[in-house]
Amino acid sequence: MWIFLLLSQFSFAQNKQDNIGTEVVNVVKPYTPTISDAFKVKEVPVITNDENAKKENVKYSILPFPVASTFSPSKGNAEGVEKAKQARLFKNYATLGLGNYGALNAELYVTDNLNNNEYVSGMFRHQSSQGGLKDVTLDNGFYDTSIDLVYGTNEKEMAWNINAGYQNQIYNWYGLPASFGNTLTLPQSMALVNSINPQQSYNSISLGGDIAFEEGILNNANLKFNHFSDAYSSSENRFLLTPNFKFDVMDEAIKTKVIVDYVGGSFKSDYLGTNIASLKYGYTNLGIVPSFEMIKEDWTLNVGAGLMYSMGTENKSNKFYVYPSVTASCKVVGDLMIFYAGAVGDLQQNSYKDFVDANPFVSPTLNIKPTNELYDVHAGLKGKLASTVSYDVKASYVYDENKALFVSNDYNEKNTNANYAFGNSLSVVYDDMKTIRFYGELKADLAKGVSVGVDGTFSSYTNKTQTEAWNLPSIQLNSTLDFAITEKWFAGVNLFYVGERKDQQQNTDIVYVVAPSPITLDSYLDLNANVRFKYNERFTAFIKANNITNNGYQKWLNYPVQGFQVLLGASCKFDF
């Protein structure tokens, strides 16, 4: 029966209904939009229910429960930063060292404050060696002694000092050519060598002063006078005055350097000894170098020019020079990378003393005249590779007129020659020269108490008249390493390399069918080291080792240097 009812219901649901059709109903209503006032939703709603604002008092009760414990807290102590003991500073020191080759090094520096503003100081230096070079016949020791005195005052508005000094140097022209005496018999050669007195003595007396102002147009000024003489009646006077001015124009700094540079002197004889009167020279250089400095964000620009007027007091050669004086720098990446460039020039005053300081084996028969550095164009990058690693790379192009070059003197073997005229001295020649130079430097503090530095210079020379850039190396490398072993032990290492150089020399007693080629001086490597022991804050002992490789290289033609050298000494700091 239930089955019948279901089937009947299904049949009823499937009956076809009548179609009621479709109709369309359109509802039309007018659209009249209106704009209601906008209200900003308040971030903190106002609660008007006072019941919600009531605070309910909550009481807590603690259920005590005894626990057995052996812990007893101790009283806390505040931690402090351990402060390093400040090293005591001493005003004075003395150093003494002794070594092989009869070496003696001594230094003494003392200073004292007369009152709150005034002070005096003095410095004594001595360095000497008794010589003893292997296979060198002539005396080859040297002495260098100097003393300097200073009186100065530091005031609120300015500081100034006056200074005086004296220096005595004794050197020997010991560099005889390897083939010396070949035109003589052995007894004649030995007699000639024994008759040579190679000693030369230089004396220098200096007076000067400095002054600096905190405010005012005159920023600072330096004055120096030097009298230089030797054992062969050579004499030279040098006077140099360089005041510096600074003033502001529209918040920009204008700097002006003034130069008054005089040198004058005489040599008793020329190299061949044929002159009757002494050989005199003298030049007065007057110059002004104004510059304008602009600083804009990461840029710094100095624009200026150098104006120089040179007067020859002996040869009456008066000339006017104009030099560029432009430098610029830009922080490309802060202090990590700084680009710098410049174009500068200068009239360099040469002097007998300057040549002796560079090479004490020159003959007292030099030709003295200034060098005209027309321009030095350079550009480079410097900065930091890390917080403790700095670098500097630079390329430059330099053009010099009358560039001074050291070259060995020709010689003969006559017993009437001067003591410096046996091929054992050098002279100065001048040439117009262009130099392309690349320089790189890297310094780093690797760890606490450890620092290292490496630098190198690579040069290429082009000469106008001379066949070579005499005695100028194309490669120079230098490296240093300093480190603290402990709080009392310190050490340092220095290694430098100098590339090949060219020189020339002839024995005029020999008739050459073909002129001899330039002589090549070998490159050399020099390794030096030192160890210091700090006994206490006053006393330090040291040992120095120079030319550790025992390389008897020639720094100048026919002039070998001392081999392995050891110097043992100590220094003491003290106060009065």
Q: How many CA atoms lie within 13 A of 282 on its CB side?
A: 10
pLDDT on residue 182? 86
Q: Which residues contact 164 (CB under 8 A, 6 or more apart)?
A: 148, 149, 206, 207, 208
Q: What distance in Å separates the CA atoms of residue 256 and residue 245, rounded to the nearest whole number?
A: 5
* Low-confidence residues of the chain: pLDDT under 50: 1-18, 20, 25, 31, 35, 38-44, 47-48, 51, 53, 65, 67, 69, 71
Q: Residue 7: what pLDDT? A: 35
Q: Do residues 324 and 305 touch, judged by C-beta distance below 8 A?
A: yes
Structure-token pair, residue 441: 């430097």
Q: Is 225 exposed, middle or buried (0-12, 13-18, 19+ CB in 10 A)?
A: middle
- The structural domains of the chain, with segments of one domain joined by +, span 98-181
Task: Give the Cα separation of 214 and 535 in Å (integer).
Answer: 42
Beta carbons of 366 and 355 less than 8 angstroms apart: yes
Q: What is the pLDDT of residue 115?
A: 92
Q: What is the pLDDT of residue 9?
A: 38
DSSP reduced 3-state for 517: coil
Backbone angles phi, psi at 367, to 5 degrees: -100, 115
SS (H, E, C) 172-191: ECCCCCCCCCCCCCHHHHHH
Helix (H) or strand (E) holding 7: helix 2-13
Please give the full DSSP string across 357-411, using - where no structure is assigned: HH-TTB-S------EEEEEEEEEEEEEEEETTEEEEEEEEEEEEEEEEEEEEPPB
Q: Answer yes or no: are the C-beta atoms of 338 and 331 closer than 8 Å.
A: yes
CA distances 97 to 16, 336, 482, 484, 526, Å, are 132, 43, 21, 22, 21
Q: What is the pLDDT of residues 401-443, one digit of tens each?
A: 999 999 999 999 999 999 999 999 999 999 999 999 999 999 9
For the beta carbon of residue 307, count every other beta carbon within 10 angstroms. Answer: 16
Q: How far is CA 152 from CA 111, 245, 336, in A?
A: 11, 22, 40
The DSSP 8-state label assigned to residue 60 in this structure reads -
Residue 486 CB coordination number (10 Å): 9
130's torsion region: left (phi>0), alpha (psi -120 to 50) or beta? alpha
**Which is nearest to 549 in space by CA: 562, 534, 536, 537?**
562
User: Which one-letter amino acid corresponds to residue 4?
Assistant: F
Helix, strand, coil percentages, rounded to 5, for the chain: 5, 55, 40
In which region does residue 471 sit, left (phi positive, over 0), alpha (psi from -120 to 50) or beta (all else)? left
Count the Cβ atoms, other than its own, within 10 Å of residue 8. 10
The three-class DSSP label of residue 11 is: helix
pLDDT digits (tens, 9 = 90+) for 338-393: 999 999 999 999 999 999 999 999 999 999 999 999 999 999 999 999 889 999 99
- The Cα–Cα gap between 544 and 568 comes to 6
Which of helix, strand or coil describes residue 409?
A: coil
